[in-house]
């Protein structure tokens, strides 16, 4: 039975990856931080067979301990301060977790596996935010980086470190340059979920409007369930490599609002949306769209959920969840 250790198991991707690996016969271990992490009951409900280990990416001994206990064949490093907006306000924590955390887990692997590094494979959750102020469109593996936030800078450090440990020590280390991926499990601070939740609550009469920032930014949004499959595929190849994972389509926040509000029968959303400078970023990534040809050709990967289907899935899930929380029976869409 192959064994996998996932950092960031309590996050959106950790949950989908845990489900995927369990369904493929893995023994799954997940790193959980904090002395009483409130997400543990939710993880145990969604992933009943998974063994949770205490540890933190800012604490090297705890990473060594987690590797010693789990002895994984595959390590997926998904843990991070992942919200770009907060990375300016907590730049040091972002650097320590999202950047230096990668160094610590790689060093922990070297310490635990010693001369036997061929026993383990490593996946690093890199990001399209590394492309930042994009030098070419669409972005591919060879596009130069120009990160625009402390988060993007920290991810770029983690990416190059992953490449460096592959080149320096022969570690089977892959970096996935993943574009935005979403789901009903997405954190409520990210724009897709913020919108799907607000639209659900507007539909149910629980609120009137939503306050957002820059409506003109464009992103390449896919479904998280598809993207964790690409992570797994990277670690099953004969040789380690880096891959862009994306849908190849780009949409603005305005288009996101169009689809989300259309789901509840509202075509003019202007009276429900307020734009507030508070939600603008000090430096914006204006447009992202990825070219995932390499992943398609070498990994046989392609997205299965389109933009409209994704947004509708999220709005529907939020209508159900918000209605249940408010004790309402939602009217049929």
For 133-139, which contacts have Cβ atoms below 8 Å and span 24 or more sequence positions? Answer: 133/283, 133/285, 133/286, 134/285, 134/286, 134/287, 134/288, 137/287, 137/289, 138/246, 138/248, 138/289, 138/290, 138/291, 139/177, 139/244, 139/246, 139/288, 139/289, 139/290, 139/291
User: Among residues 151, 165, 227, 243, which one is catalytic?
Assistant: 151
Q: Find, among 175, 224, 228, the residue nearest to 18 by Cα.
A: 228
Give the list of residues 6+ apart from residue 297 with CB closer than 8 angstroms, or none.
none
- Does position 124 interact with ligand NAP (CB under 6 A)? The reply is no
- Does position 57 interact with ligand NAP (CB under 6 A)? The reply is yes
- Does position 281 interact with ligand F7E (CB under 6 A)? The reply is yes
Known active-site residue 129 = yes
- Does position 175 interact with ligand NAP (CB under 6 A)? The reply is no
Stretch that binds ligand NAP, among 31-39, 44-52, 164-172, 292-300 (CB under 6 A): 31-39
The distance of closest approach from Cβ of residue 258 to ligand F7E in the complex, given in angstroms and rounded to an integer, is: 15
Total of chain residues touching ligand NAP, rule CB under 6 A: 27
CB-wise, 238 or 276, nearer to ligand F7E?
276
For residue 287, the cross-strand partners are 218
- Does position 61 interact with ligand NAP (CB under 6 A)? The reply is no
- Does position 188 interact with ligand NAP (CB under 6 A)? The reply is no
CB-wise, 12 or 149, nearer to ligand NAP?
12
Per CB under 6 A, contacts with ligand NAP among 83-112 are 97
| Of 106, 202, 253, 314, the one binding ligand F7E by CB under 6 A | 253
User: Among residues 129, 149, 165, 243, which one is catalytic?
Assistant: 129
**Count of positions (residues) in the chain:** 333
Known active-site residue 127 = yes
**Cα-trace Rg, the chain:** 20
What 3 state SS string does 185-223 have? CCCCCCHHHHHHHHHHHHHCCCCCCEEECCCCCEECCEE
Residue 243 in 3-state DSSP? Answer: strand
Alpha helices in the chain (DSSP H): 12-23, 40-46, 60-70, 86-89, 91-94, 100-113, 150-169, 191-203, 224-235, 253-263, 293-294, 307-326
The distance of closest approach from Cβ of residue 291 to ligand F7E in the complex, given in angstroms and rounded to an integer, is: 15
- Does position 279 interact with ligand F7E (CB under 6 A)? The reply is yes
93: burial class by Cβ within 10 Å (0-12, 13-18, 19+)? middle
- Does position 148 interact with ligand NAP (CB under 6 A)? The reply is no
Per CB under 6 A, contacts with ligand NAP among 8-27 are 8, 10-14
CB-wise, 21 or 80, nearer to ligand NAP?
80
Residues assigned a catalytic role:
127, 129, 151
Point out which residues bind ligand NAP (CB under 6 A): 7-8, 10-14, 31, 33-34, 37, 39, 56-58, 78-82, 97, 125, 127, 178, 180-181, 187
In the complex, the residues that contact ligand F7E under the rule CB under 6 A are: 82, 84-85, 127-129, 179-180, 189-191, 194, 212-214, 217, 219, 253, 279, 281, 284-285
């Amino acid at each position: 039975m192959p064994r996998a250790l996932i950092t960031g198991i309590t996050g959106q991707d950790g949950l989908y990856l845990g489900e995927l690996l369990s369904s493929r016969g893995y023994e799954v271990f997940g790193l959980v931080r904090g002395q009483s992490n409130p997400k543990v009951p939710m993880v145990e409900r969604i992933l009943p067979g998974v063994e949770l280990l205490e540890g933190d990416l800012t604490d090297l001994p705890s990473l060594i301990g987690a590797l010693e206990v789990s002895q994984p064949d595959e390590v997926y490093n998904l843990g991070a301060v992942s919200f770009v907006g907060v990375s300016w306000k907590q730049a040091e924590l972002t650097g320590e977790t999202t950047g230096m955390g990668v160094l610590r887990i790689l060093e922990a692997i070297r310490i635990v596996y010693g001369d036997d590094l061929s026993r383990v494979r490593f996946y690093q959750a890199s990001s399209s935010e590394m492309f930042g102020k994009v030098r070419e469109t669409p972005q591919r593996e060879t596009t130069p980086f120009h990160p625009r936030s402390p988060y993007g800078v920290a991810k770029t450090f983690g990416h190059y470190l992953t490449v460096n440990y592959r080149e320096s020590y022969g570690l089977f280390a892959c970096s996935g340059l993943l574009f935005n991926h979403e789901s009903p499990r997405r954190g409520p601070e990210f724009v897709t979920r913020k919108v799907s939740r607000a639209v659900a609550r507007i539909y149910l009469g629980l609120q009137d409007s939503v306050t957002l920032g820059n409506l003109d930014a464009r992103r390449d949004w896919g479904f998280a369930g598809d993207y964790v499959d690409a992570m797994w595929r990277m670690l099953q190849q004969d040789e380690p490599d880096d891959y862009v994972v994306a849908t190849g389509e780009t949409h603005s926040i305005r288009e996101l609002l169009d689809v989300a509000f259309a789901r509840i029968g509202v075509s003019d959303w202007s009276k429900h949306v307020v734009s507030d400078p508070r939600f603008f970023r000090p430096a914006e990534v204006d447009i992202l769209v990825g070219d995932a040809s390499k992943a398609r050709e070498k990994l046989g990967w392609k997205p299965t959920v389109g933009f409209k289907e994704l947004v509708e899935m999220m709005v529907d899930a939020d209508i159900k969840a918000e209605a249940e929380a408010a004790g309402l029976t939602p009217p049929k869409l």
